[in-house]
Amino acid sequence: MQTSIKPGDAFASTTTNNHDRPRVLAADDQQHVLDAIELLLRSQGYDVETARSPLLVREALATGSYDAILIDLNYTRDTTSGGEGLDLLSEIVAVDSNTPVIVMTAWANVELAVEAMRRGARDFIQKPWENERLLAILRSQVELHRALQRAERLQAQNRLLRAEGLPEFIATAPAMQPVLDAVSRIGPSDANVLITGEHGSGKEVVARTLHALSPRASRSMIAVNTGAMPDGLFESELFGHVKGAFTDARADRIGRFELADGGTIFLDEIGNVPYRQQAKLLRTLETGEIERVGSSRSRKVDVRVVSATNADLRAACAGGTFREDLLFRLNTVEIHVPALRERREDIPALALHFLARYTSHYRRPVQRFETSALQLLMQHSWPGNVRELDHTVERAVLMCRGEEIQRADLGLDLIRSQSQNLEDLSLEAVEAILIRKALQRFQGNVSQAAETLGLSRGALYRRMEKYGL
């Protein structure tokens, strides 16, 4: 019988959203002005921080983020030019052009207001202000700022997230019972989890199930294949960058950690993170802060980290290619997913699951597997694990001529016969067979298979995708 884990099967838990109260930074050289602003805004549900000089404003922006910033234009006694404030405004906008800045001064004039707006201020307030006008301006600017943030997040999610629903975790084999137990216990927590297992064994399904069972399920889970990420783009992809940080940085970009704020980030193939980048990843895990490339400002993120690898990270630590302190941060709990050959009892349920998926997707009338076809599925060694089974069933659905998948539709007998008659095959067919055999020889370990074939891991991954392995 098929076992499925769904969010309702675990403990129900809720968390308070700490981002509901807008945060405002107010800067003025006079304490009574700051006191008045703080009293007014706190009564309206704002969190307020204050600063009495441009230096203190810079320090506040280096460590915190805000929904709006109120700044005076004059900070030195007997100065009325507004130069200090205008320079500070330009500096703030250069670092973060998204956060709205509202300027205020007792020495207002049209020219100064125009210059402030030209430098990036969103609005202008004359002291003494009218409370209703100040609150109306703040309310509209905060709402606009948050709407832009949501749009940026949605755009990034549409780019990164697959249009799939919650995962169906199929596990009937005794070998999968420890995985089920661990997932049901650990899922509702915020603990970092390291998932180990061969390539294609279903580690991402485990990760998505952990997320679905957690209090973060209503937020995003962002999946990142660190094995396919070029070294030069690692920081930009994970932490984001600001406009002008490097040659092709034509606009600010949100990173994966920031995109996952409040949710979960899934770092697949974590063993492939370059050694020199591991320290930067470790710092984020230790401090909960990220820093966009080209920016000197840290940002707090609240992210649960789930990572996966088919490599032996302890051996990598001993060999000096993986940081031991990073491993400790990643594997608060470790879950090992058995290879498909170690859980053959799951093959029929998995095959029927994929059959239902692809008959619906391709609108084919296929209803079942012929007995000998199912026997062949049970006998095959599956070096590519569940991913290979998925691809095999998809092919069979497309090749099937009736309502029942025949043994020949699977293409597995063809693979066996082809390996015995290489002289009759194309170069691509021979390459696919060699890759399959290498994966089978090393039980799905991509690193060892790549080394034997004389390929880089990235090159092998591309060929595996090409041949459906």
Domain layout of the chain by residue ranges: 23-153, 174-338, 341-466
The correct answer on CATH 1.10.8.60 for the domain covering 341-466 is yes
Counted residue by residue, the chain has a size of 469
Buried b (16+ CB within 10 A) or exposed e, 252-282: bbbbbbbbbbbbbbbbbbbbbbeeeebeebb
Mean pLDDT of 281-309: 89
pLDDT, greater one: 138 or 146:
138
Mean pLDDT of 138-163: 63
Is it the case that residue 157 has pLDDT exceeding 70? Answer: no
As a whole-number percent, the residues of the chain with pLDDT over 90 amount to 33
Architecture of domain 23-153: 3-Layer(aba) Sandwich (3.40)
Is it the case that residue 306 has pLDDT exceeding 50? Answer: yes
Is it the case that residue 246 has pLDDT exceeding 90? Answer: no
Beta bridge partners of 16: none
| Domain 23-153 and domain 341-466 have a common topology | no
How is residue 119 written in tokens?
């430098």
Mean pLDDT of 358-373: 88
Least confident range from 2-16, 96-110, 266-280, 316-330: namely 2-16
Distance CA 332, CA 183 (A): 13
Count of alpha carbons within 13 angstroms of residue 76, beta-carbon side: 8
Mean pLDDT of 268-295: 89
User: What are the angstrom distances between the C-alpha of 338 and each of 179, 276, 397, 442, 469?
Assistant: 9, 31, 27, 15, 18
pLDDT winner (highest mean) among 153-162, 169-178, 314-323, 442-451: 314-323
The correct answer on CATH 2.60.40.60 for the domain covering 174-338 is no
Residue of 252, 327, 347, 326 whose CA lies nearest to 294: 252
pTM of the model: 0.61
pLDDT-derived band at 12 (thresholds 50, 70, 90) equals very low
Contact, 125 vs 133, CB < 8 A? yes
How is residue 221 written in tokens?
């889970």
pLDDT tens digits, one per residue of 75-108: 876 666 778 888 888 888 887 777 889 988 776 5
